[in-house]
Amino acid sequence: MKIRHKLFAIMAIILAGMVASLLVLLGAITQLQQTSSLAQEAQRLITRGYEFALVSDNLLTTTGKLSQELPKWDEIRGQFAGELESFLSDPQLTDAYPDQQIAIEGALNLWNYMNTRMEESKESIQELLDNQDLPETEKIGIFHISRFLTSPQAQNIRYLALETSQLQRQLPSMKTDAIELIEGSLGKLQNAIVQRGQAQSGRSLLFGLLVSALSAIIAMASIFWFSLRLSRRIHILEDAMESVSNQDLGINLNDSARDEIGNLSRHLTRTTDHLKELISEVQQTAGQVENQMTQLDSSSNSSVSAVHEITQNISSMDSQFQEFESSLASSLEQVASLIRGVEQIAATIESQNSAISGSSSAIEQMAGAMQSANTISTSTQEQNTLLVARVEEGGQLVQETSEQILEAARDLDGIREIIEIIDSISSQTNLLSMNAAIESAHAGEAGKGFAVVAEEIRKLADSTRENAERIGNTIDQVTGRINAAVTTAANSSQRFEDVATAVETFSQAMDQINHALSELQEGTGEILEDTTSLSQDSTSLTEETQRMISYARDVRSVLDGIQNHADTMKRGIQEITQGAGHILGQLEHTNELSTTTNSRLGDLAGLLKRFKTE
């Protein structure tokens, strides 16, 4: 078993003892709590009983209203009855205290007897309160009611004296029984509960102390036995380690235990055996190393001379590479200058090409605009010719319209003459109708029919005259409008002549514009051809410039690659130089180490001889 397992076992024994002690103590505490709870309940019940006895006495001696005291007494009686029955029927009391069963039953029987008598007393008191003959002011206390019943005012209710006398005997008797129940049965039960709880607590504490003491004794015995055996084995191991420290490897520990100390003893024995084998091998190897160090010393001397020659050759190569690097740097600068110059030329050509392209586009737009303007001008000239013809036709139409209006005015003059004739005829007809009316009046009855005709003729003549006047007015208005139209037609004819003159002038100007646009279009076409040729030449020059830049960049890329290779070779030469110096230093250090090693091998052989392996 491992040492830690043994320690765990001892700790488990101690822990088990502590747990057992705690369980015993917890049991004792639980019993004590139960006992204390029962004792407190008994004390609370006793207090409630004394309160009930006091209230019962108040029914006799109270100076207040009996109707208020009776409910209080009944309420406290009910509370006391509930608590008493709950306490006496509690399983903790009946199961834990079988020897008090007689006392419990006696208390229950006494209470049942008291409860029956209290119900009778309650009914008697309630009858007194319900009695209508007893004044309400006298319903104070039983003693007071008894005194009142002996007075002259209570002659008609003296039959109540018997009930009051019975109540005076029953209530003190119930008080005495309640005190006997409290101090006798309940007090004895409380004392028994307290005494038994104290006895159980003492036994539980004693048992817990015994368990704790037994656990402590077992744990101390286990620790003593384990410490004694462990100390003996550690002492044996200490002696063996002292022998090893004195360079004596001939120890042999025979500890067969399966714990840590047994494993340590076996490991120490195997370690000393391995050390014996190691020392023998080291002694053999030291002799071989000494021979090889002699050969290494001679080889190191030869290597030092060879490294010196390599270092000199590398120094010569380094100086040649420095000259090559300076030439290469000069070539790179010249190529870079060439590239910058060509790039500036290319930028200038590109700018010129952009300007030419912009000019060509502008000229093309201008040529298109001129072509459009020429087309519009030609179309305008044609429209102008049509306009001249339309103006001439309009002038002729205006002239013809003016003549027709004049003819209409002359026709209106004829109509006006006809209207004057009609007006004259209407006047004559009116005179004739008046004459006819006069003649019909002279004719009497024979002329009545003719008078009617004469009247109708007169009305027709009046209507004709009015219509002739209306037509005359209308003709006057039409004549005024025709005169205005004649004036307007004359003005329009003059305007048409002015428009014809202006259109003729505009037509001549458009002819000049068409001629100028034709010449300008021819010049723009020649400029566009020259600009196109110049743009093509500029594009070719740009392509050649870009090709030159590409060639120059390729040359620069090749030179950069050469420079990179030269830098790599230079770093390689420097690394070779550093490596050669490092190798030379290492060879010199190796020579020193070889000399030191030979000295140390001699010391090692002397130390190994001091170990005892038998």
CATH number of the domain that residue 583 is part of: 1.10.287.950
Q: Which two tokens stand for residue 297?
A: 């010393």
Residue 193 and residue 283 share a domain: no
| Closest of 134, 129, 131 to residue 73, by C-alpha | 129
| Closest of 589, 3, 384 to residue 11, by C-alpha | 3
Tokens 């100007």 -> residue: 509
Distance (Å, whole) CA 307 – CA 315: 12
Q: Which two tokens stand for residue 307?
A: 């490294």
pLDDT of the residue at 380: 65
pLDDT of the residue at 509: 64
Q: Is residue 237 part of a domain?
A: no
pTM: 0.34
Q: Helix (H, G, I), strand (E, B), or coil: what is residue 248?
A: strand
How far apart are the two ends of the chain, measured CA to CA in Å?
Answer: 34
Q: At what angle do helices 187-245 and 3-61 cross, to 10 degrees?
A: 160
Cβ neighbour number for residue 86 with a 10 Å cutoff: 11
Burial class (CB in 10 A: 0-12, 13-18, 19+), 377: buried
Residue 604 and residue 528 share a domain: yes
* Last residue within a domain, chosen from 197, 230, 263: 230
Residue 99 and residue 24 share a domain: yes
Q: Helix (H, G, I), strand (E, B), or coil: what is residue 256?
A: coil
Q: Is residue 251 part of a domain?
A: no
Residue 320 and residue 408 share a domain: yes
Residue 300 and residue 208 share a domain: no
Residue 215 and residue 341 share a domain: no
pLDDT of the residue at 194: 72
Segments forming the whole domain that contains residue 410: 276-609
pLDDT of the residue at 391: 62
Distance (Å, whole) CA 353 – CA 160: 146
Residue 320 and residue 224 share a domain: no
Residue 573 and residue 440 share a domain: yes
Residue 222 and residue 85 share a domain: yes
Q: Is residue 507 part of a domain?
A: yes
Beta strands in 325-382 (DSSP E): none
Q: Is residue 75 part of a domain?
A: yes
pLDDT of the residue at 435: 76
Distance (Å, whole) CA 80 – CA 55: 12
pLDDT of the residue at 312: 67
pLDDT of the residue at 152: 84
Question: Which backbone phi and psi does 612 adopt, to 5 degrees?
Answer: -95, 115
Residue 149, C-beta contacts closer than 8 angstroms, at least 6 positions apart: 157, 158, 160, 161, 164
Residue 225 and residue 360 share a domain: no
Cβ neighbour number for residue 187 with a 10 Å cutoff: 15
Residue 219 and residue 296 share a domain: no
Q: Is residue 98 part of a domain?
A: yes
Please enumerate, as own/partner, the contacts of 285-294 that have beta carbons within 8 Å and a separation of 24 or more. Answer: 286/601, 286/604, 286/605, 286/608, 289/597, 289/601, 290/598, 290/601, 293/594, 293/597, 293/598, 293/601, 294/598
* Last residue within a domain, chosen from 171, 202, 230: 230
Count up the domains in the chain and report the number. 2
Distance (Å, whole) CA 271 – CA 161: 119
Q: Is residue 336 part of a domain?
A: yes
Tell me the torsion sign for CA atoms 365, 370, 374, 377: positive
| Side chain identity at residue 12, one-letter code | A
Q: Which two tokens stand for residue 478?
A: 């039409």
Cβ neighbour number for residue 409 with a 10 Å cutoff: 15
Spatial contact of 60 and 174, defined as CB atoms under 8 Å apart: no
Q: Helix (H, G, I), strand (E, B), or coil: what is residue 496?
A: helix
Q: Is residue 263 part of a domain?
A: no
Q: What is the DSSP string of 121-144?
A: HHHHHHHHHH-SSS-GGG-S-HHH
**Alpha carbon separation from 404 to 392, 416, 488 (Å, rounded):** 18, 18, 14
Q: Is residue 247 part of a domain?
A: no
Which residue ranges in the chain fall short of pLDDT 50? none
Tokens 């200058």 -> residue: 337
Per the document, the length of the chain is 614
Residue 280 and residue 152 share a domain: no
pLDDT of the residue at 82: 85
* Last residue within a domain, chosen from 198, 230, 262: 230
